Chains A and B, each alone.
Chain A
Amino acid sequence: MESSESEGKAGEYYDVVKKFEYLDHTADVQIHSWGDTIEEAFEHAVMGMFNYMTDIDGVLPRKTMEVSAEGTDYESLLFHLMDEFLFLSCTDDYFMAREIKITEFNREKWTMKALGYGEDFDRERHGGKGTEVKAITYSAMQVYDKTPKSEIFVIIDI
């Protein structure tokens, strides 16, 4: 465990399965995430955000944080969920998540609960691998709840 930690990788932990990519946008970054379900697309949108701040493969699942979000539609729910995780990343102990799991999604009330598995930011292991995310935006936001593939497009302000 010691040596794999110093390599900056999660050692015996597998590389995170990533269902997201970064698309061209002039000033900032557009995250494109997908999944078999809309929940999975949500999870990977958040992971895409964390992966921009640091290499999430190098984040160990030592700590679990729970987040609640609410909205009035898919867009506002996504916005709120990502904003809650963003808040965790830049306050207190600067929490970085390697994986996200949606535990509850109430489609009528538009509420969601999620867990983030990760750890506090460690300058030595996580530093210098990405950049800060300033905010989540509604700009060109698209949420597609479809089978067999759900997709999300969301721009984050760098």
Chain B
Amino acid sequence: MPRTFDEELQFLEKKSPCCWTIKKDFVPNMKVEGLFYVNDHLEKLMLEELRNSCRGNIGGFLPGVKQIANVAALPGIVKNSIGLPDVHSGYGFAIGNMAAFDMDDPEAIVSPGGVGFDINCGVRLLRTNLDETDVQPVKEQLCQSLFDHIPVGVGSKGVIPMAAKDLEEALEMGVDWSLREGYAWAEDKEHCEEYGRLLQADQSKVSSKAKKRGLPQLGTLGAGNHYAEIQVVDEIFDKHAANKMGIDHKGQVCVMIHCGSRGLGHQVATDALVAMEKAMKRDKIVVNDRQLACAHITSQEGQDYLKGMFAAGNYAWVNRSSMTFLTRQAFGKVFNSSPDDLDMHLIYDVSHNIAKVEEHMVDGKQKTLLVHRKGATRAFPPHHPLIPVDYQLTGQPVLIGGTMGTCSYVLTGTQTGMENTFGTTCHGAGRALSRAKSRRNLDYQEVLDRLADLGISIRVASPKLVMEEAPESYKDVTEVVNTCHAAGISKKAIKLRPVAVIKG
């Protein structure tokens, strides 16, 4: 007998102004409680999703709260299955869901759904020493230059020459490959999670099908919600942290790039899901949702996936490095200056679809955990050994991309976050309107006109995407970021506003 909305509500409890718990038995087999961070406005959206599913809908997809709870039922999970403020319905895991598993527990699992199809989808932010006044007169030219340099959209192919052997090396070496080939600066490595290379990657665990998809796509932006944006600093909340990032005044021009591992990552995830379905039958692992296909971390399937996933992660870093290279070239051409003279340094690069092996304190003991962050970003605090020297006092920069035409944020990691969410925070705005609804209800020209009114130049390869990606289709990123700030799991440092957008 399906429960009514009121019956479901009995399992949800508001612990504090921005934090709710999901009690055990909300779904079967929960090993720990679920937790989600929302403010009043976002809370309404969450509960709306739940209410709609109680009414029954054709298509029958699960609301975010149910998915967070289903994850809490996975073997080996530690502490809580956590929903960040941008949480919404996804595959198996909700998008904006973090879950950590005890690597010392033989039952503990790894799940590709907890990483996402777009392995190591992430964001990087480059600074420049340009000001908005330098860019405004050449904005259209610059936007066009970026669009011409960066391959975008269906059927686009990478411009950086690559053979099968190059791809294999890139999969093993990550940013080190880009560095060797001259597409990255040495300093870029320093300002990237894992220094742009997951060491346990094994390219032999990436199928030839995945490699075939990946080869032509290296250095392409892709479509969907991926983009390259020219942004200007709109507000500085934390002057000290901003200074450490090389940001010292409003109007300073930056470039934000958001993309992932393209078809290669998707294929790695797909291949793993198929292999794990079989493993689950063999090892008798029971899950509440087929899309939560998983395998014991120590099993062959688990290990193969991890190594292949790390290789796909490396591919994404090579991809973002390639796009950085193309961006630096585009700027250099328009301003007739070298990217070095333009101070186009990488502030930081974060991943928001990945699983990492990390050390965390659990009940006073140090444990090695496999932390899945799907649509969630790592946010390590000050003094954490894995963050770069220049950010030791401020904490790890966290890049939160807003949606097309809205603002983006840079946050820093906090100790509270480290303790409560294993150093995890949100990743962006999260969708509010479905793509189908957006296509029906929003007018392409209206969206473009609105962007033009805001002074934002745009180049998009797929016009239909304009409606799907319109700000109205998403939750308010400011609400999401403010909730994280209020909850103490990350701290606002900088707000950025877009002046030009390139989309696939």
Residues on the A chain within 8 Å of B431, using CB: 26-27
- The complex places the Cα of A131 from the Cα of B89 at a distance, in Å, of 21
Does the CB pair B154–A131 fall under 8 Å? yes
Would you give the shortest CB distance from B469 to chain A, in whole angstroms? 9
**Count of chain A residues with Cβ under 8 Å from any Cβ of B?**
42
Q: Which residue of B lies closest to A91 (CB)?
A: B212
Given contacts A132-B223, A135-B270, contact A26 B464 (CB under 8 A): no
- Is residue A16 contacting chain B, with contact meaning CB distance below 8 A? no
Residues on the B chain within 8 Å of A157, using CB: 91, 117, 266
- Give the total number of A-B pairs whose CB atoms are below 8 A apart: 132
Q: Which of A131, A139, A140, A153 contacts B224 (CB 8 A)?
A: A131
**By CB atoms of chain A within 10 A, which of B92, B436, B465 has the most?**
B436
Residues on the A chain within 8 Å of B217, using CB: 90
Does the CB pair B89–A127 fall under 8 Å? no
Does the CB pair A129–B464 fall under 8 Å? yes
Q: Which residue of A lies closest to B375 (CB)?
A: A27
- Is residue A54 contacting chain B, with contact meaning CB distance below 8 A? yes
Does the CB pair B59–A24 fall under 8 Å? yes
Residues on the A chain within 8 Å of B269, using CB: 135
- The complex places the Cα of A131 from the Cα of B118 at a distance, in Å, of 16
Does the CB pair A128–B436 fall under 8 Å? no
Q: Which residue of A lies closest to B61 (CB)?
A: A140
Would you give the shortest CB distance from B84 to chain A, in whole angstroms? 15
- Is residue A53 contacting chain B, with contact meaning CB distance below 8 A? yes
- Is residue B62 contacting chain A, with contact meaning CB distance below 8 A? yes
Report, as a range, how many residues of chain B touch the other chain.
35 or more
Residues on the A chain within 8 Å of B263, using CB: 90-91, 134
Does the CB pair A26–B89 fall under 8 Å? yes
Given contacts A25-B434, A129-B462, A130-B464, contact A30 B155 (CB under 8 A): no
- Is residue B291 contacting chain A, with contact meaning CB distance below 8 A? yes
- The complex places the Cα of A83 from the Cα of B58 at a distance, in Å, of 24
Would you give the shortest CB distance from B463 to chain A, in whole angstroms? 6
CB within 8 Å of B: which A114-145 residues? 121, 123, 126-132, 134-142
Residues on the A chain within 8 Å of B465, using CB: 131
- The complex places the Cα of A35 from the Cα of B277 at a distance, in Å, of 29
Q: Which of B58, B439, B504 contacts A132 (CB 8 A)?
A: B504
Residues on the B chain within 8 Å of A76, using CB: 274, 277
Does the CB pair A127–B461 fall under 8 Å? yes
- Is residue A102 contacting chain B, with contact meaning CB distance below 8 A? no
Given contacts A25-B59, A25-B434, A27-B431, contact A132 B213 (CB under 8 A): no
Closest 7 CB pairs of A and B: A24-B434, A132-B223, A140-B61, A121-B155, A139-B91, A135-B266, A131-B223
Please name 30 pairs of A and B residues whose Cβ atoms are closer than 8 Å in the assembled complex, sorted by A: A22-B436, A24-B436, A25-B435, A30-B59, A30-B436, A32-B59, A54-B154, A75-B290, A87-B209, A87-B212, A90-B213, A90-B263, A91-B263, A92-B212, A94-B155, A123-B155, A128-B462, A128-B463, A130-B464, A132-B153, A132-B154, A134-B117, A134-B266, A136-B270, A137-B117, A138-B291, A140-B61, A153-B58, A153-B59, A155-B61
- Using a CB–CB distance below 8 Å, which chain B residues touch chain A? 49, 58-62, 88-92, 95, 117-118, 153-155, 209, 212-213, 216-217, 222-224, 263, 266-267, 269-270, 273-274, 277, 290-291, 293, 431-437, 439, 461-465, 468, 504
Given contacts A76-B277, A87-B209, A139-B90, 13 further A-B contacts (CB under 8 A): A26-B434, A27-B95, A76-B274, A83-B270, A91-B216, A94-B155, A121-B154, A131-B153, A132-B224, A139-B61, A139-B291, A158-B224, A158-B468
